Structure 1
Amino acid sequence: MSAATTSSFLRLLHEQVGHEFDAHQQYIAIAVWFDRHDLPQVARHYYRQAVEERNHAMMIVQYMLDRNLPVEIPPGSPVRNDFTEPTQPIALALQQEKQVTAQIEAIFQAARAESDPLGEQFMLWFLKEQVEEVAAATTLLTVAERAGANLFDLENYVARERIGDSGESADAPAAAGGAL
């Protein structure tokens, strides 16, 4: 059995490609929901989030290519499209970011347990990114809850404030095919 098939780090890393693409798809569904409800600023935020998650998946793919590891793109998971109020998709996005954080932490821990310093180093950027992602999603949910029925306040906030780094980070890993 090869190291690639027995390594928890590599198994989790392969799974993460799918998780990132799933997050990409869920963010598109959230963006479309906001677009359909005439909230273009919030929709634009989630369209950008979708691209960012796609880029994260492709960063992992590039890392695996660079280390000459086998790469397979997994099928996607179902997405949720049925929301009844604006806080629901925002809360789902926060829940999703917390789940991704736990997944990234597990991958980092596996690299450390397997004495894979290259794997650890690669995952450090993702750990830093998740701190920003959870903080931004938490703030957006708080603003949405405070806005209540006055969705203009939510739109204004998103239009006025820079939420997160939009995936623009000088130290970001390279993405296979280039970041979008």
Structure 2
Amino acid sequence: MKTTLISAKIIPEFHRQIGSELEAFLQYLAIAAYFEKAALPRLAAHFARQAEEERGHAMRFLQLLIDNDADVVIPAIPAPEGQFRDAEHAVTLSLERELRVTEEIHSLLRLARQENDFTSETFLHWFVKEQLEEVSTADQLLKMIQRAGSQRLLLVEEFLARSGPMRLGKPAEEEGG
């Protein structure tokens, strides 16, 4: 007998979200590789950390399904975009991705509320806060790259080096979960 505390209607949506988070993971790996190849190690490290964070998001959804004795389905993941015109293109892609994921999380939250699924709603609140941080970070990084221009990306590297591993505007050690 299944002992799930989450709505049967939200389970397939959580499967899709696992796929979306894994798709973001792969995209950020591709962006990290682009910056590594361009000899911009701080930007590469930033996107490698972002990739791991997205993988962690997928694992949170996976664990919620397991904890609720729900079926787990991991969908096929499309290949990430791997060719970028320049740094601005790569970072714009990351911002667009974060905006898309934010809308997906909001849609999941709306469904949880419609279903009176308090377990899923509570679970999703963490993601709402997380997405605000993710969008803000991607937006700040894009603005920095646009101001610096492609010939002055070393200034962005210098900023990231001085700031240490971080989510822009917030040192990594202050990040929660």
TM value normalised by structure 1:
0.87
Distance 2:175 2:117 in 1: 24
- Cα contact 1:93–1:137 (8 A) shared by 2: yes
Equivalent in 159, 162, 175 of residue 160 of structure 1: 162
Aligned to 2:96: 95
Q: CA deviation at 1:25?
A: 0.2
> Which structure carries more relative contact order (alpha carbon 8 Å, separation 6+)?
1
1: CA distance, partners of 2:20 / 2:173: 17
Contact 1:91 1:141 in 2 (8 A): yes
Alignment root-mean-square deviation, CA: 2.1
Amino acid at match of 1:113: Q
Task: Find the aligned partners of 2:173 and 2:104 in 1 and give their Cα distance.
Answer: 19
**Aligned residue in 2 for 1:106:** 107
Tell me the amino acid that sits aligned with residue 154 of structure 2: F
Q: Any runs of at least 4 consecutive aligned residues in structure 1 with deviations exceeding 4 A, and if so which?
A: 164-170
**Structure 2 residue aligned with 1:52:** 53
- SS of the equivalent of 2:10 reads helix
Distance 1:11 1:75 in 2: 14
Which residue number corresponds to residue 23 of structure 2? 22
* Number of aligned residue pairs: 169
Tell me the equivalent position of 2:13: 12
TM-score by length of 2: 0.89
Give unpaired runs (5+ residues) of structure 1: 173-180
User: What SS does structure 2 have at the residue aligned with 1:74?
Assistant: coil
Partner of 1:32: 33
Q: Distance in 2 between matches of 1:106 and 1:89?
A: 26
Shift in alpha-carbon separation, 1:167–1:127, aligned structure 2, 3 A:
farther
**1:9 and 1:107 in contact (8 A); partners too:** yes
Compared with structure 1, are the counterparts of its residues 155 and 28 closer, same or farther at alpha carbon in structure 2 (3 Å cutoff)? same
- Per the TM alignment, residue 160 of structure 1 is displaced from its structure 2 partner at its CA by 2.4
Partner AA of 2:108 in structure 1? I
Q: Which residue of the partner structure matches residue 68 of structure 2?
A: 67
Match runs of 1:110-125 below 5 Å: 110-125=111-126
Deviation sequence 1:98-124 (CA, Å, 0-9, x none): 000000000011000000000100000
